[in-house]
Amino acid sequence: MKKRIILLAIIAFIVLVGIFTLSYVTSHHTITFILKGGTYKVKIFTADNKQLTELSSPSGKAWLQKGEYRYAVSDTKYDTSAHSFSIDDKDKTITIDPAYSAQYLSELLTDSERLKINALLTPYLSKINTPALASIDRIQLYSHGEWAAGMLSYQASRRDTVEYYRFVLHKDDNVWKLVVPPQIAIYGASYPSVPVSIIDNLYAKN
C-alpha cells in the first residue's frame, strides 16, 4: 500500500512537471530577426529593459515568451534608439532596417553633396526679388542618406520677419531630386512618399 502511494505521488509529480514543461514550451515562440542594411548587432530587452540576448546581422533567432519586448541596434553607425515589439501566440519574423545615426549622416553630408543640393535650389532663389536676403539653412540627411531636407530662410525686405521655406529631396540612382519644393507649411498627405518624420523635423525647434 505504501509503495502504491509513493508511486502515485511520483506519477502526480511527473504529470505536474510535464504540464509545467508543456505550458512553458508552448508559451514561447521562435522569433526570427532579419537585420537588413549592413553589419551590426541588435540587443533584445524585456519591456523593463533587462537584456535577453544579442543578435548579429544578417539574421538571428530568439525564443521568447508572449509579451512586450524592445530591441535596439548597438552600433554607433546606426540609430540606437529602442523600438517596441510584441509577441503573440505564434512564431514571428521581424525585419530590422535601422536608419543611420545623426552623426554618421552628418559625415555623409559632404561639401560635394551640399553643392549638389544647393544647385537644385538655385532656380528657386532666382525667382525672388531679394535673393540677398535668402539663405539655405539646416540641410540634414535622413534614413540611409537617401533623403535630405532643409529650409530657405527668407525676408521679403529687411523690415519683414524671417520666414522658413522647407524643402525635401530624395536621391534616386545617386542623383538628388527635389520632391517637396520650398514652402512654409508642408501638408504630409500631399507628399505620401515622404516620411512624415522628416517633415515634422523641419518644424522642430532648434
CA neighbours closer than 13 Å in the CB half-sphere of residue 123: 5
- Is residue 124 within the footprint of another protein (CB under 8 A)? yes
Give the residue carrying C-alpha cell 548579429: 56
**CB nearer to another protein: pick between 17 and 108:** 17
**What are the backbone angles phi and psi of residue 159, rounded to the nearest 5°?**
-85, -15
- Is residue 120 within the footprint of another protein (CB under 8 A)? no
Amino acid at 161: T
Q: Could you give the CA distance from residue 19 to residue 135 in angstroms, rounded to a whole number? A: 71
Binding to another protein (CB under 8 A) within 63-92 occurs at 64-69, 84, 86
Count of residues binding another protein (CB under 8 A)? 53
Binding to another protein (CB under 8 A) within 41-60 occurs at 46-48
**CB nearer to another protein: pick between 46 and 101:** 46
- Is residue 142 within the footprint of another protein (CB under 8 A)? no
- Is residue 119 within the footprint of another protein (CB under 8 A)? no
- Is residue 122 within the footprint of another protein (CB under 8 A)? no
* Alpha helix positions (H), the chain: 2-26, 102-108, 111-125, 196-202
The string of DSSP letters for 42-87 reads EEEEETT--EEEEEETTEEEEEEESEEEEEEE--TTB----EEEEE
Chain residues binding another protein by CB under 8 A are 1-2, 5-6, 8-9, 12-13, 16-17, 19-20, 23-24, 46-48, 64-69, 84, 86, 124-125, 127-129, 152, 154, 156, 160-165, 181-190, 196, 199-200, 203
